[in-house]
Each structure stands twice: as C-alpha cells, then as structure tokens.
Amino acid sequence: MATNGANAIELKNVKVFYSDKLAVDNVSLPILKNKITAFIGPSGCGKSTVLRALNRMNDLIPGARVEGEVTYHGKNLYAPNVDPVEVRRRIGMVFQKPNPFPKSIYDNVAYGPRLLGVTDKRTLDEIVERSIKGSFLWDEVKTDLKKSGLALSGGQQQRLCIARTIAIEPDVILMDEPCSALDPIATQAIEELMKELVKSYTIVIVTHNMQQAQRVSDFTAFYSIRKAEESGGVERRWGVLGEYAPTEQLFHNPKSEETERYIRGEFG
C-alpha cells in the first residue's frame, strides 16, 4: 500500500448506519492522490454508501450516521467543527444519472463559482470555457451555451455535470456509476476524459462494469456482502471491504476466493 503522503483521503474503520441499521462495516483503505480508485462489488454491497461517506452526502439522508474516521489531508471530515459545505466544495461529485440543472449550459457550469461569490462576468466566462473544455464538451456546445442543459444527449449531459464539478476546482472527484445510463460510445468518451482529469484530480469511481474498472483505474476496492440471521428469521445484510489492491493485481492475482469468483462473473 502507498504511503500516507500520497493519500488524498484515508478511511479508518468506517461504519455507516441507516437509522441504526449497519449498512457498511469496518472499511479501511487509502484513496491515492492523482490516481483513479475504483469501487466494485455486487448490488447492495455498500460501495455507493462508502463513496457518499467521502464527501458527507450521507448527511442529507435522515437517520444516516458514519462512525470511524475519514481523513482528508490529515483532518477528520466527521470532526464536529467541520462544515459539510466546505467538504463538498473540496470533494466534488458526479452522479449516476446525469442531473444537469434545468438551466442553460452556461448557468449550469457557472453555478458552482457563483455559489462561491464569483459575480464578475469575465471571470465567469473564463471559468465556464475552461471547465467545458476540460470535460471535452467545448466543441459540441461552444456556439450554443444559452441552450438548456437538458437539451443535450445523455453522454453530453454527463460531461456537462463533470464540467460543472471541475468548475469549482475540487481536489477529489467522486463518480457514482457515471456511465451506467450511457451508451458505449458516450462511455468511452467519459473514460478518456477520466484519464485526462486524473492528471490534476484524484478520482474515485463506483462501477458495476468490471471491464471499466480494469480499463481506467489504478487501484480497485472490492466490496462484498455479509449476511446474518437475526431472531425471528429476518436476514440482515451489510457490506464489507473484501479486498483492496492495485487494479492489475486484483484482477489477475486476487487474494481471496470471493474476489476471484466475482471478477469471473460467477455472481453479481
């Protein structure tokens, strides 16, 4: 495993609860700076839950609670004096379904900077242009920035969402299955974009697609499900971190049998 100095985020014994039900147990892993870390695993294994714990998005769900430590540059994100708004400004997020605001392309990208108090038209123009160029969307929309973001195709919408995220210059970008609603060509465009973005950002991606994890990521964390029978025959399920390793190693030389069965496609 990498040294602490190169870690953007470090998770130590993270547990997530939804209204007192354990959803993810005891996850410890580093997120390396300027690398792409992929979270894979079967449905319900808690990979998205862990991802949302990294920028305190779980705070928005009533009854959600995080235990353990999520350290970002040596600071625990869940310490009482930390403002979640600041966390999300440093650790941005791209969602599973493209969710542009029902506004123009320009306003979508300018939204983040405006939140931060940027009102100067020239500065905004510059940020918008740089961000849309940064998400490889500029050539397709440069003549029509006034058009509604919702009028774009699915793949373009997702790249718009990425542009929107990088407009506020975060350190880390979290991507929650960003290609699951897209066709293969749009997916390829996003993957190429990620490889470009990782030069300046740290990326964490949740994906169902193991080929995608193999293609784009440097490190992979595999999550699996644990089950237990409670009194009364009710089954309780929660996710755990099964294995974390460099992608190459995890896919070709997995340590655990469960990981191997999963990447061979025996369950999912």
Interface with another protein by CB under 8 A: which residues? 55, 57, 60, 62, 85-86, 88-89, 92-93, 95, 97, 99-104, 111-112, 115-116, 147-151, 161, 164-165, 168
Among 98, 202, 112, 78, CA closest to 150:
98
Q: Is the CB of 92 or the CB of 155 nearer to another protein?
A: 92
Q: How far is the CB of 96 from another protein (least distance, A)?
A: 9
Question: Closest CB to another protein among 150 and 240?
Answer: 150
Of 25 and 164, the one with the shorter C-beta distance to another protein is 164
Position 97: which residue type?
K
Q: Minimum distance between the CB of residue 30 and another protein, rounded to whole angstroms? A: 23
Phi first, then psi, for residue 159 (nearest 5°) are -70, -30
Whole-angstrom CA distances from 233 to 45, 157, 230 are 21, 45, 6
Cα separation of 118 and 133, whole Å? 20
SS3 256: coil
Q: Which of 87/210 has CB closer to another protein? A: 87
Residue 133, H or E segment: helix 121-134
Q: Report the DSSP pairing between strands 235-246 and 21-32.
A: parallel
The DSSP annotation for 59-112 comes to GGSTTEEEEEEEEETTEETTSTT--HHHHHHHEEEE-SS----SSBHHHHHHHH
Nearest residue (CB) to another protein, 149 versus 239: 149
Nearer to another protein, 132 or 250 (CB): 132
User: 219-229 and 36-40: which strand pairing?
Assistant: parallel
CB of 183 to another protein, least distance (A): 20
Residue 53 beta carbon to another protein: minimum distance, rounded to whole angstroms? 14
The nearest distance, CB 237 to another protein, in angstroms, is 24
Q: How far is the CB of 5 from another protein (least distance, A)?
A: 26
Nearest to 128 by CA among 144, 113, 149, 147: 113
CB of 22 to another protein, least distance (A): 20
Min CB(101)–another protein separation in Å:
6
Locate tokens 């880390």: which residue? 172
Say how far apart CA 49 and CA 61 lie, in whole Å.
Answer: 11
> In the complex with another protein, which residue's Cβ is closer, 6 or 151?
151
CB nearer to another protein: give 50 or 57: 57
